[in-house]
Amino acid sequence: MEPWDIHDEHVGHTKPPQEISPAQFIGAERKVQYLMPKSAFVKANTAYENHTIVDYSDYAFVTKKVTKNPDVPFGSTFECHVLTIFINMGYNTVRMISSTEAKFVGKPPMVAWKIKNAMYNGVTDYFVATGETICEHAFREADKGD
């Protein structure tokens, strides 16, 4: 995972320095790559992601993630676009809203429906794991009195 290209040392902190407005984080980007495990349909492959901060305030944190998997069958014909919104609901409560879209470059292949289904299943698993991680982290911090 590469650092954010703007204010990397402050993104994610609850109190950035006075001279830096959280609005300055909007548009920050970072690149991530990781190994996707082998599945019933594809061999292990490298996923390439580009994350962008779409909104950043005391009330919401929004990221857009575009993932490409060029080494899978038809991988050069599609991208996975994910938008995730974290809303501060107050009283130590956060709401996560996520959406995903399969974007095809040019004419979708005949197996586009299979690609979409696999993508949506994988992204749903990611959303659940993200929510569980946030809850686990929040629970640990609550135990510390933070």
pLDDT in tens, 71-103: 998 999 999 999 999 998 888 788 889 999 999
What pLDDT sits at residue 40? 79
Residue 99 vs residues 55, 114, 143: alpha-carbon distances, Å: 16, 18, 31
What pLDDT sits at residue 146? 47
- Record the tokens describing residue 50, joined without a space: 């580009």
What pLDDT sits at residue 84? 94
Look at 18-22, 51-55, 70-74, 125-129 and tell me which has the smallest mean pLDDT. Answer: 18-22
Residue 121 has pLDDT above 50, yes or no: yes
Q: Band the pLDDT of 140: cuts 50, 70, 90.
A: low
* H runs (alpha helix) in the chain: 112-143
Integer Cα distance of 84 and 133 in angstroms: 15
Other residues' Cβ atoms within 10 Å of the Cβ of residue 61: 21
Select the more confidently predicted residue: 2 or 92.
Answer: 2
Q: Band the pLDDT of 143: cuts 50, 70, 90.
A: low
Select the more confidently predicted residue: 92 or 10.
Answer: 10
